[in-house]
Structure 1
Amino acid sequence: MTTFSAAQIPDLTGRTAVVTGANSGLGRVTARELAARGARVVLAVRSLDKGRAAAATMTGETEVRRLDLADLSSVRRFARDLTEPVDLLINNAGLMVPPFGRTVDGFEMQFGTNHLGHFALTNLLLPRIRGRVVTVSSSGHRAGTIDFDDLSWERKPYRAFPAYAQSKLANLLFTAELQRRLTAAGSPVLATAAHPGMAATNLLGHREPSLLTRFAQSEDDGALPILYAAVADMPGGGYAGPGGFLQGRGAPKLVGRSRAARDETVARRLWTVSERLTAG
């Protein structure tokens, strides 16, 4: 069996990729590798300065545009201004177990950023997407439940990891329902998902360093499942992750997901609720 590496990314000349959160971590590596293979890469970032600094380290054609996924008006503005066809949309940006906060629109920060921001962005760009939508989830989705009665933690006491797990489960349910809708419409666009395992990115920056040293793989290796989901031969709705022990590290391959992430009824309901929450 051939092990996937960045060297196996095909020539992407003439194609446009949008990568959210491309100024650091997995997004930066993903953008770098796509640009190196000839794609025109749009770095969609909150900080233009950080985005430009990241782009300066890349070879190939890049453009930096501001996108704040925690502000739906910013998402709408980004989608309005990006008028060209998009071959790859990489929904990578995210938050992991921050202190409690709310988005500009009043949603719990992780659910609002990790799921609703990307849900809105994808649907706004969908008429111009002609390749794949890759959404980055996490093995943490296995601990998640979708609490339709309190999606934004307005009633129950906030707990950072359950909120994170809910948002990552939402990413997989979104991917599944998006693919179902694309298939029903006869669209050639594919929706896929990926998770990086345990990768030493800035999301883990506050964790105990010894844990990173022992278990985490590098940003470059952590980005491989994302790149695999973007360019490898895999089915719509497929989920890529590291193939090693507990999917923590190793070469990317198709991996399984929790029973909750395969619940078609919940996926459809979440889509409907997300449409309502992001309408504007």
Structure 2
Amino acid sequence: MPWTLTDCPDQSGRIALITGANSGLGLETARALSGRGATVVLACRSRSRGEEARSELLPAATAGLEVLELDLADLASVRAGACWMQEHYGRLDLLLNNAGVMAPPRCLTHDGFELQFGTNHLGHFALTSALLPLMEGRPDARVVTVTSGAQYFGRIAFDDLQAERRYDRWAAYSQSKLANVMFALELQQRLEAAGSTVASLAAHPGLARTNLQPASVVANGSRLEELAYRLMDPLFQSAAMGALPQLHAATAPTATGGEHYGPDQWGGMRGWPTQVRIAPAALDPVQRRRLWEVSEVLTEARS
């Protein structure tokens, strides 16, 4: 039998923080968790869009909903968000590293990183590092990092991480998504070695309709890309379906650290959540350790 939203267990008493919770996968994840009793913190770059999402979710929410203004492309904002969580809650049960940007023209984060690597990977790396102390000792605490099928095409360009010499927007996106799953696996290994109570998992949505596709079209002004999305539209599933793998990773009693979930049909493009293969490039522990160490240096240097 497929795992559906009705299988999501009761989350009463648990606190969840979701990045990018104002739209798409993040909004649907927030809808599901808040409807199951979790107190949900909507971590959004735009407070106004976060408040709009909160208003949409409130009628069906069974516990608290709060908006946290947090910009993953600004490490000072990440640190401030982590401090806010410490001051307001002092604990955290679920962290869903969901937010992301996809294939824009080359631009930089506030701290000077290539936007996709800086937001999708480094921002979540820094946020997770700052929030882990709030999760330690909590029953069944989990970090779920959302990647995509682009991980299978990714390569970590250690000699040009910020794409200063050559920028290909899709290669940069694939690098950031490969970095997401490498981070999730390396985090799990380090948590296990430290005897931590926290588990780290990864998930990807397959082809899901979110704001990433139209945002990419607008950012690049590409009519060809717009046409491609129109032709591919029948393959896309809803954001609610796309959110199921990360909800499964975050809540299913059978899901354990180090696992990776995605859709079960059409080569992982759509369907119900199941355990799916990890990009071969992410299985190299030496490369994962190297990425972790580089990420530590880059994020701490901006602290």
Q: 103-112 or 201-210, which moves further after superposition?
A: 201-210
Q: Which runs of 4+ in 1 moved over 4 A?
A: none
The alignment yields a C-alpha RMSD, in angstroms, of 0.9
TM-score, structure 1 as length reference = 0.97
CA separation of 1:50/1:212 partners in 2, compared to 1, >3 Å: closer, same or farther? farther
Q: In the alignment, which of 210, 213, 216 is matched to residue 236 of structure 2?
A: 216
Q: What residue is the counterpart of 2:270 in the other structure?
A: 249
| Preserved contact between residue 200 and residue 212 of structure 1 (Cα < 8 Å) | no
Q: Residue by residue, what CA displacement relative to the aligned partner does 1:54-104 show, whole Å, maximum 9, x if unpaired? A: 111112220001000000000000001111211000000000101111000
Q: What residue is the counterpart of 2:220 in the other structure?
A: none
Counting aligned pairs with the same residue, the percent is: 53
Q: What residue is the counterpart of 2:146 in the other structure?
A: 136
In 1: Cα distance, 2:256 partner to 2:22 partner: 29
How many residues of Structure 1 are paired with residues of Structure 2 in the alignment?
278
For 1:65-144, list aligned pairs within 5 A: 65-83=68-86, 84-129=90-135, 130=138, 131-144=141-154
- Offset, 1:214: 1.4
TM-score, structure 2 as length reference = 0.90
For 1:1-280, list aligned pairs within 5 A: 2-58=1-57, 59-60=60-61, 61-83=64-86, 84-129=90-135, 130=138, 131-155=141-165, 157-205=166-214, 206=217, 207-208=226-227, 209-232=229-252, 233-279=254-300, 280=303
Q: Secondary structure at the match of 1:51?
A: helix
> Where do 5+ consecutive residues of structure 2 fail to align?
218-225
Q: Residue by residue, what CA displacement relative to the aligned partner does 1:126-178 show, whole Å, maximum 9, x if unpaired? A: 001130000000110111111111100112x2100000000000001100110
Q: Secondary structure at the match of 1:89?
A: strand
> Where do 5+ consecutive residues of structure 1 fail to align?
none
Q: 229-238 or 192-201, which moves further after superposition?
A: 229-238
